[in-house]
Structure 1
Amino acid sequence: MNNSVKPYVVKIPFYIPYLFPKRLWHFSRKHKIVYLTFDDGPIPQVTPWVLDQLKKYNAKATFFCIGNNIQKHPALFAQLKAEGHHVGNHTFNHVNASKTSFNEYMENTKKAEVFFNHPLLFRPPYGKLDTKKAEALLEKKYQIVMWDVLSADFDPTITPEKCLNNVIENAKNGSVIIFHDSLKAEKNLRVALPEVLRHFSEKGYTFKAI
């Protein structure tokens, strides 16, 4: 997701999934399950702490990893999988689809693809993905995973409490929630994530990987 402070929407409008039905936005609203996702890792400064927090609640999550970070921290990537979390492709260099040619974008995605087993999950950096690139990824059997709740932990202009409220006030049954295991998000993440886990656990929710 977005690592720069630009206009963003915390709660995806209800009609967006209907406009892009081949992308995964949320799961069934019938069950008390939420799906935590973490973008931009893995990095040793943040990801191990995230894993510790998840473990306290027996929570499973999905990590959309940057290939370059996997290459630099292979043991940490292996730990994600060993602890029962799922992993997805977030390109090799966190490239922006709106600023990258079709061939360059697909090559960057393919460069990261070697780290992932089927089923192939993909989340576009910055949430940007035009139709041509999306169709090419679908042809390669990727599940494109979007979200319906954005924590905005990456935004240094908001307080950790605001980050927490973004999730508490908008997540519901079946929500796919975005956090980031990144240095930019760390300040907000370290406050919001434990409280999100506690809040939804106390309400009887479970946390599953995609």
Structure 2
Amino acid sequence: MEIVPHQTPLWLKQLYPKRIWSFETTKQKEKTIYLTFDDGPIPKITPWVLATLQKYNAQASFFCIGENLQKHSKIAQQVIAAGHSLGNHTQHHVSGWKIGFNKYIEDFELAQKEFEKQDFETKLFRPPYGKITTKQASFLLQKKIKIIMWDVLTKDYAKHLNPKELLEKSILATSSGSIVVFHDSEKAYRNLQYILPKYLAHFSKLGYQFKAI
């Protein structure tokens, strides 16, 4: 049974207003989408994403798992060189609902140290699975960390779902200012190869621009 919606419900955004779910476009005619990619960097996959984004002059934000950053720092350098931004996605992709406060913050800080070791600076953080407790979030917000959530989830990781349907639902859920989640991961790669180019082509034709956070 599919219970995770493509579009984040308004009530959830209102419940946690200090977390960033989307951006309001200040100009009436401005059409902007904020693409994000979770779980990388991964050889072959992340470079493919970079090449695909380049075709559409699109910028994006990549939320990296610390241990992947450690193993594939050269790919992260390519991300930065291409004009994209990086964000923390914890060291081991942990759920804030499954581990205690101290262990969660420790995992966040391990990843943050990995960013610093590679001379990358970031104040962006996305909790894996979107699962973070109020206490964990409050601590990070006090540290001036921006908790980046989303209002469109492509579900590219769902191998059992039809990629054409995922694309259509993602397009319908998107509006100007949307933060959209993709994954540059092994699990998502098959669906991502179908969805991403068509998603970019669709909104490019409508005059949208794609910016990093």
**TM more than 0.5:** yes
1:102–1:177 CA distance, 2 compared to 1 (3 A): same
- Distance, in Å, in 2 between the alignment partners of 1:151 and 1:11 is 9
Which amino acid in 2 is paired with 1:16? L
Equivalence map 1:34-53=2 (5 Å)? 34-53=33-52
Structure 1 partner of 2:174: 171
Query: 2:158 is paired with a residue of what secondary structure?
Result: coil
- Distance, in Å, in 2 between the alignment partners of 1:27 and 1:131 is 22
Uncovered stretches (5+) of structure 2, i.e. residues with no partner:
none
Residues 200-209 or 109-118, more deviating: 109-118
- Distance, in Å, in 2 between the alignment partners of 1:179 and 1:47 is 11
Equivalence map 1:25-104=2 (5 Å)? 25-29=21-25, 30=28, 31-104=30-103
- Distance, in Å, in 2 between the alignment partners of 1:20 and 1:103 is 22
Residues 66-75 or 30-39, more deviating: 30-39
| 1:119 Cα deviation after fit | 4.8
Tell me how large the CA RMSD over aligned residues is.
1.3
Structure 1 partner of 2:144: 141
Which amino acid in 1 is paired with 2:17? P
Among 125, 128, 132, which residue is 2:128 paired with? Answer: 125
Asked if 1:156 is matched to 2:155, the reply is no
Query: 1:22 is paired with a residue of what secondary structure?
Result: coil
- Distance, in Å, in 1 between the alignment partners of 2:166 and 2:59 is 21
1:67–1:119 CA distance, 2 compared to 1 (3 A): closer
Contact in 1 for aligned 2:40/2:183 (Cα 8 Å) = yes
Show CA shifts across 1:96-136 (max 9, x none). 11111111100000001020555500000011011000001
- Distance, in Å, in 2 between the alignment partners of 1:23 and 1:84 is 24
TM-score, normalising length from structure 2?
A: 0.93
Residues 112-121 or 47-56, more deviating: 112-121
Contact in 1 for aligned 2:87/2:122 (Cα 8 Å) = no
- Distance, in Å, in 2 between the alignment partners of 1:7 and 1:73 is 34
- Distance, in Å, in 1 between the alignment partners of 2:166 and 2:42 is 21
Kindly tell me the number of residue pairs found equivalent between the two proteins.
Answer: 206
- Distance, in Å, in 2 between the alignment partners of 1:47 and 1:185 is 11
Contact in 1 for aligned 2:88/2:122 (Cα 8 Å) = no
Contact in 2 for aligned 1:35/1:177 (Cα 8 Å) = yes
Uncovered stretches (5+) of structure 1, i.e. residues with no partner:
none
| 1:157 Cα deviation after fit | 1.1
- Distance, in Å, in 2 between the alignment partners of 1:47 and 1:80 is 8
TM-score, normalising length from structure 1?
A: 0.95
After the TM superposition, list the runs of 4 or more consecutive aligned residues in structure 1 that deviate by more than 2 angstroms: 116-119
Query: 2:173 is paired with a residue of what secondary structure?
Result: coil
- The percentage of counterpart residues that share the same residue type is 50
Contact in 2 for aligned 1:91/1:112 (Cα 8 Å) = yes
- Distance, in Å, in 2 between the alignment partners of 1:166 and 1:127 is 20
Structure 1 partner of 2:194: 191
